[in-house]
Chain A
Amino acid sequence: GAVVSQHPSRVICKSGTSVKIECRSLDFQATTMFWYRQFPKQSLMLMATSNEGSKATYEQGVEKDKFLINHASLTLSTLTVTSAHPEDSSFYICSASYAPYGTYSNQPQHFGDGTRLSIL
């Protein structure tokens, strides 16, 4: 159980293109979804947290207008990288958690398999 599907797994596109990444929880309702960015040989860096039906909370230094997050349902969140540039190339990973009572939760985050984004 607790499967999170992330799509696409790899994207290669030209500079200036906007790219949408989908994150779906397949067998549970994800009250909270998280978006991470990971550079080679580094650990995950949280970009933003999204709760279903609410605006995402972005971490310091992450541009809201650059990385648009939508969490319209309990099973789907999307990350759109707008006007992507080569420096946006990275491995983007989403995770989902069922935490109906807020942040006091020992429920694990279930991760997708990531999206490798390459901007030429």
Chain B
Amino acid sequence: KNQVEQSPQSLIILEGKNCTLQCNYTVSPFSNLRWYKQDTGRGPVSLTIMTFSENTKSNGRYTATLDADTKQSSLHITASQLSDSASYICVVRGGGTASKLTFGTGTRLQVTL
């Protein structure tokens, strides 16, 4: 069964600090992996997308990594800001004819003063 597990479930950090969110998946075959940011009551917004051959991708203060061998990804947030408070969702697209998305349950990040 295709699954995407994220850790931690929730995280509280001080403004200005860095943090790393983890994503492990069992989706096979694999097509790509996306990280989304979802503010409360809003739709998800894409941060990064990585295919099998990509190991690292950055988008401003967000850096995603992918290890397709171990089926792990991480999202590193540098110099966190209050506006980073949101849920971060890891989404994996499978390959093949039924290439559906499998969503993780997300990590709820709260950045405080």
Contacts A113-B42, A116-B41 known; list 5 others, CB within 8 Å.
A43-B103, A106-B93, A110-B46, A111-B36, A111-B45
Is A111 touching B43 in the complex (CB atoms < 8 A)? yes
CB-defined A-B contacts under 8 Å, sample of 9? A6-B43, A44-B103, A45-B103, A103-B97, A103-B98, A106-B51, A109-B46, A111-B36, A112-B43
Scoring B residues 78 to 113 as 1 if CB is less than 8 Å from chain A, else 0, what string do you get? 000000000001000100011111011110100000
**Chain A interface (Cβ < 8 Å from any Cβ of B):** 4, 6, 41-46, 91, 93, 95, 103-106, 108-114, 116
Number of interface residues of B (CB under 8 A): 24
> Shortest beta-carbon distance, B108 to chain A, in Å?
8
> Shortest beta-carbon distance, A67 to chain B, in Å?
18
> In the bound complex, how far is the Cα of B57 from the Cα of A65, in angstroms?
43
- Chain B residues whose CB sits within 8 angstroms of the CB of A44 once the complex forms: 44, 89, 103
- Chain B residues whose CB sits within 8 angstroms of the CB of A103 once the complex forms: 97-99
